[in-house]
Amino acid sequence: MRHGSPPVAGWVVLPALILNASVHAQNLGSEDAQRLDRLMREMEAMRQQNAELAEGLAEMRRKNQSLQGSVTEMQAQLNERWLSEERAAEIRKVAEGVVKDAETRASMQASPDGNFKLNLSGQIQFRYAANFYSNRDNNLLNASPGTASNRGTAASSVAQPGSFKKNVAGFEVRRMKLDFFGHVVDPSWQYRIVLIYNQNSTAIQAPGGSNNGGINSGSSMGMEEAMIIKNLGDGWKLSIGQFKSPFLREEITSSRRQLAVERSIVNQMFSTKFTQGVMVTHQDDRLVAEVMYNDGGSNGNTGAAAGFNNASVVGPSDLNNGAGFSEWAVTGHVGWLAFGDWKEFRDLSSFVGDDAGLLFGAWVNWQRGGEQLNQGALPGNGNIPLNGNADADFLTWSVDASWNLGGAHLFSYFVMNTAYSIPATATNDGGSINSYGAVVQGGLFVTRDLELFGRWEWLATQNVGYNQAANSVTTGVANVFNAGRANIYTVGFNWFLAGPNVKLTTDLGWTEGPLWFNNGIYGAGIAGTDYRIEPFGGGDQVILRSQLQLIF
């Protein structure tokens, strides 16, 4: 019999023995009968014990099987736990390496207590642009139809001063910026330094660009912003240094967040750009107010006493190398967020999924030029100011509205400048000059990554009758206060190739009238827009621009 198996044969033989013993007991005596009866009871007790033993063995076998299953399950769990621990150890090892690397990187950016921090951002804009004077004969170099020399004649073997070629095209690095910002001492003491590579503006005098790195090469790495910012708490902030004075939303919005390839001509005509001074800002959930006392529009990177020598003519002169100066300037801005979130208005686009919002703004710049009248007159008709640094007062104001629709955006503004207190001369009665501008633009996302847009802009100057006749200067020198009138139309698209960090923008623009100025009221140039100046006799022009922007 196998160990652990019940004694099956015993259960068959034992009843037969008991029955046989019972039969024999009837033939035995009383004593024998008692012994036999006792034996039978003992045998019955053994049978019961055997049955109980068999049942116990069966129960032990069931428990053994259950125990074996538990052991197997426990072993599997132990194996899984061991594997999990091994994986966890590997993950911890990788995580520790990442943390160490992050700590190494963080040590270059922030102190352990968080009181010192440095961030770095950058921007590259690479552009192709083509400009066409649409009403020019291909053989004519000069901007004045009927007076130009033909390219093929001996008299015009060399282009004459002030001449313009009909079609021009090429590539350019429009902007390359490095932006350093963070805080020192504690998070309330903030700073920002922006370095920018400036385009070569003197290539016509020094062909070959600035590859030689010379001091007169016309392009270099320079300071665009240098700010110290103190967060005073409760929405108050104090900014000191060089930065953009708070005038025109189109200008204040970063170049990386524009709708078209470049800001509008109207913006270039009226914006105050970078200057130096002190600004106080207060902002809450719905209102923002800023006021800045500064050196005047576009007077950044100048010394405190720059230009304080009277020139022989009005406007920037050789005595101050064209830097110019203002006696004083005050710039201010008030914005009201009707609904929405401030962060949604950092761009001149409204992306799919953004919240809707409506923002209104009012802006003003008032300054007194520092150049004094002495002798002579500026180009143009009469003694007309050359820019906001000339001997006059300049008051510029603007109102705007921005409407975000979460996938679509509308933006418009009106701007006006009045130049007054202009010294009277024999050809100028000292009256005021009014200049006007307006912009309406909008964008619509047709997919999450593709935005179509359009823009209309208008500018006009009323110079007390002096610029009602066309500017008589034909040498390429023109004056913003003789700017005349023009409508400009632009259409295009933005294709976000990798989110907001990589964007391809292409647009087509057309001016239905000539542009009679190189620089705006406060010195901003139109060259960066890829439009060109057209003096007397000029007409419309067309530009095609395509730009790839990378932000890091």
pLDDT digits (tens, 9 = 90+) for 31-88: 777 787 788 887 888 878 777 777 877 777 777 776 676 666 766 666 665 556 666 6
pLDDT digits (tens, 9 = 90+) for 285-312: 999 999 999 999 988 887 776 555 544 4
Of 475 and 285, more confident: 285
106-115, 143-152, 342-351, 535-544, range with greatest mean pLDDT = 342-351
Q: What angle do CA 175, 181, 184 make, to 5 degrees?
A: 160
pLDDT more than 70, % of the chain:
66
What pLDDT, on a 0 to 100 scale, did the predictor assign at position 6? 46
Of 545 and 218, more confident: 545
Contact 388, 369 (CB under 8 A): yes
Q: Which residues contact 93 (CB under 8 A, 6 or more apart)?
A: none
Q: Which residues contact 353 (CB under 8 A, 6 or more apart)?
A: 406, 407
Over range 366-373, report the average pLDDT. 79
Query: Encoding tokens for residue 495?
Result: 């294709």
Contact 197, 176 (CB under 8 A): yes
What pLDDT, on a 0 to 100 scale, did the predictor assign at position 534? 72
What pLDDT, on a 0 to 100 scale, did the predictor assign at position 207? 36
**Which segments within 19-67 are labelled E, that is strand?**
none
Query: What is the rounded distance in angstroms from the CA atom of residue 341 to the CA atom of residue 324?
Result: 40
pTM: 0.73
What pLDDT, on a 0 to 100 scale, did the predictor assign at position 463? 64
Of 33 and 91, more confident: 33
The secondary element (H helix, E strand) that includes residue 282 is: strand 274-283
pLDDT digits (tens, 9 = 90+) for 157-180: 444 444 557 788 999 999 999 999
Whether the per-residue pLDDT at 110 is higher than 70: the answer is yes
Nearest to residue 245, comparing CAs of 195, 293, 284?
A: 293
What pLDDT, on a 0 to 100 scale, did the predictor assign at position 546? 98
Whether the per-residue pLDDT at 328 is higher than 50: the answer is yes
| Ramachandran angles phi, psi of 373, nearest 5° | -70, 135
What pLDDT, on a 0 to 100 scale, did the predictor assign at position 50? 78
Over range 241-250, report the average pLDDT. 97
Whether the per-residue pLDDT at 254 is higher than 50: the answer is yes
Name the average pLDDT for the chain: 78
Over range 258-276, report the average pLDDT. 96
How do the domains of the chain map onto residue ranges? 8-90, 110-201+219-551
Whether the per-residue pLDDT at 381 is higher than 50: the answer is no
Whether the per-residue pLDDT at 118 is higher than 90: the answer is yes
Whether the per-residue pLDDT at 371 is higher than 90: the answer is no
Architecture field, domain 110-201+219-551? Beta Barrel (2.40)
Query: What is the rounded distance in angstroms from the CA atom of residue 410 to the CA atom of residue 250?
Result: 12
DSSP code for 371: P
CA distances from 127 to 171, 173, 178, 511, 550 (A): 6, 6, 18, 20, 12
What pLDDT, on a 0 to 100 scale, did the predictor assign at position 39? 80
Of 513 and 313, more confident: 513
Contact 40, 17 (CB under 8 A): no
What pLDDT, on a 0 to 100 scale, did the predictor assign at position 124? 97
pLDDT tier, 205 (very low <50, low <70, confident <90, very high otherwise):
very low
Whether the per-residue pLDDT at 483 is higher than 90: the answer is no
Over range 132-145, report the average pLDDT. 54
Q: At what angle are helices 8-25 and 30-109 packed, to 10 degrees?
A: 160
